[in-house]
Amino acid sequence: MKLKIKEVDVDSSEPGVLIHDDDCLEIGVQEGDRVKISGPKPTILLVSRSDTLMERGFMAVSSSVVKKCGLKDGDVVNVVYAPKPDSVRSIRKKMDGERLEKEEIHAVVEDILESNLTKIEISAWLTALYINGMDIGEIADFTVAMAETGDMIRFDRTPVFDFHSLGGVPGNKITPIVVSIVAAAGIMIPKTSSRAISSACGTSDFVETFCNVEIDAESLKEIAQEVGGVFSWGGSMNLAPVDDMVIKVEHPLGINPRAQMLASIMSKKLAMGATHIVVDIPTGAGTKVPTIEVARQYAKDLMELGDRIGMHVECAITYADQPIGYAVGPNLEARECISILEGNKHPAAVIEKACDCAGIILEIAGIPNGAAKAKEILESGDAYRKFMEIVVAQGGRPDLKSDDLKPGMYSYEFRSPKSGYIHAIKNKEIVSVAKAAGAPADKGAGILFSKKKGQRVEEGEVLFTIYADNEAKLRRAKDVATKYQPMDIEGMLIKRVSPLTAR
């Protein structure tokens, strides 16, 4: 039927159209069905119905969609029922526990990219993946489809190394150290990182405090091939773009189905042209990977998937029962990271983890005793010089010093409520406190630990300091810390158990 466009000045999250109930009946569509509207660029839109907000004969369409269709306010267009895309059938198939063919997976990915699938459908897709899973062959097809629906970078020479961390542990600032060591050894490692999704500070969130991370594909290729290393933000290129669209539905559900997670990591690496990759799997309470068994399964999956898509994959299962190092938050993590490159021996755990991970890469590249060699490159200052080369290539200051990175002006010392030993530092609660303080948006916000797990503290001693860029957020973070008590302090004797305590 013919309807007149009423342009509305706000966008919906899905390209939709609001139509009067009776007109919907006339067209033969329900809420959530699709219609095709005629015009210079015929477009499929999602139907919402109302009998109070719309007059008959009109349809409300957002400005951006009106423009996309090549139409304008007041235009009268023909509106007809449009069938669901075929990929909805593949989603149903996965809901029914069946295996999907390469073409079916590709169509789902393509339809997510083109906004042909609604949030309801993407949610059903992810839920079906979460419950019914995919076999490794399906995941490989999924990975390739996700990579191929975006830009693909191809370097002029190989091997192209990469390093990835599954994340989930706060304070994990090793990436620039690993990249600097590896590049200093003459191995090309164009590393792309992400910003925080649910964490307090992603690698790009702290790297951008001292150099530009928004680097396009052309410059990335140039820097990688000339300097050897890059630490850029993956989001500034169009790598596996479907992943970012899926995250918008995954995040509210709080799920990350195995198939989606594996394809998400590896599709970006594939799109980046990586040929060899080391994956850090932080393992411990409050991370994404609670136990060694789960970590081994991830490692197995990643390596098998690498085999299928022609990529050499090795994994590092790393200790992550507490935050890595002493600093959490953009400026604080940047300072700790750079100070290690400058020669500081503290915190030893960060140095050890960075050298172990870099060492695996060196060994894959044919350099024996990788970890020792990595440490040598770090201690000699070669890693620092390479780091500065990369920083300058990414537009950072040539006289950058770790002390340039300052914590927020407002701080609060969180003190121990009792004497004892630190039995646990809870990763998730630390993230909540740092986020309450304003991280990662406020660069000075974060946490600096005075004590780590296993150490003795006396009542009233400072456990950690919260930093914030403004007073209100500091107060908020203090409240969160007080409520969550992110450190467990207990005596050596946790509980006395005797048959007759009264005896």
Where on the chain is the footprint of a second copy (CB under 8 A)? Answer: 8-13, 16, 18, 22, 25-26, 28, 30-33, 48, 50, 53, 60, 64, 84, 88, 92, 95, 97, 118-124, 126-128, 130-132, 197-198, 248-249, 251-255, 435-436, 438, 440-441
Cα(165)–Cα(315) distance, integer angstroms:
10
**Which H/E stretch holds residue 484?**
helix 471-484
User: What SS3 state is found at 40?
Assistant: coil
Q: How far is the CB of 408 from a second copy (least distance, A)?
A: 14
User: What Cα–Cα distance (Å) separates residue 353 from each residue in 11, 166, 196, 357?
Assistant: 46, 14, 21, 6
Q: Quick one: 420 or 440, whose CB is closer to a second copy? A: 440
Q: What is the dihedral angle through the alpha carbons of 331, 332, 334, 335, rounded to the nearest 10 degrees?
A: 110
Q: How far is the CB of 439 from a second copy (least distance, A)?
A: 9
Task: State the residue for tokens 């394809």.
Answer: 263
Q: How far is the CB of 300 from a second copy (least distance, A)?
A: 22
Q: Quick one: 31 or 73, whose CB is closer to a second copy? A: 31
Q: How far is the CB of 31 from a second copy (least distance, A)?
A: 5
Q: Quick one: 254 or 499, whose CB is closer to a second copy? A: 254
Q: How far is the CB of 20 from a second copy (least distance, A)?
A: 12
Among the listed residues 326, 381, 317, the one whose alpha carbon sits nearest the alpha carbon of residue 349: 326
How many Cβ atoms are within 10 Å of 500's Cβ, its own excluded? 5
Q: How far is the CB of 119 from a second copy (least distance, A)?
A: 5
Q: How far is the CB of 192 from a second copy (least distance, A)?
A: 21
Q: Quick one: 14 or 363, whose CB is closer to a second copy? A: 14
Angle between helices 348-364 and 175-184 (to 10 degrees): 40
Q: Quick one: 102 or 195, whose CB is closer to a second copy? A: 195
Q: Quick one: 180 or 264, whose CB is closer to a second copy? A: 264
Cα(23)–Cα(20) distance, integer angstroms:
5
Among the listed residues 67, 78, 66, the one whose alpha carbon sits nearest the alpha carbon of residue 6: 66
Q: Quick one: 30 or 485, whose CB is closer to a second copy? A: 30
Tokens of 196: 């925080």
Amino acid identity, position 170: P
Cα(299)–Cα(390) distance, integer angstroms:
30
Q: How far is the CB of 487 from a second copy (least distance, A)?
A: 22
Q: Quick one: 25 or 409, whose CB is closer to a second copy? A: 25
Q: How far is the CB of 108 from a second copy (least distance, A)?
A: 14
Q: Quick one: 389 or 429, whose CB is closer to a second copy? A: 429
Judged on CB neighbours under 10 Å (0-12, 13-18, 19+), 41 is: exposed
Tokens of 462: 């400072």
Cα(356)–Cα(334) distance, integer angstroms:
20
Cα(309)–Cα(306) distance, integer angstroms:
5
How many secondary structure helices (H) and strands (E) does the chain include? Answer: 18, 18
Cα(181)–Cα(400) distance, integer angstroms:
18
**Interior angle at CA 235, CA 192 and CA 395, nearest 5:** 65
Q: How far is the CB of 63 from a second copy (least distance, A)?
A: 9
Judged on CB neighbours under 10 Å (0-12, 13-18, 19+), 91 is: buried
Q: Quick one: 132 or 402, whose CB is closer to a second copy? A: 132
Task: State the residue for tokens 């095709």.
Answer: 36
Q: How far is the CB of 32 from a second copy (least distance, A)?
A: 3
User: What SS3 state is found at 436?
Assistant: helix
Q: Quick one: 18 or 224, whose CB is closer to a second copy? A: 18
Which regions of 320-402 does DSSP assign to beta strands (E)?
327-328
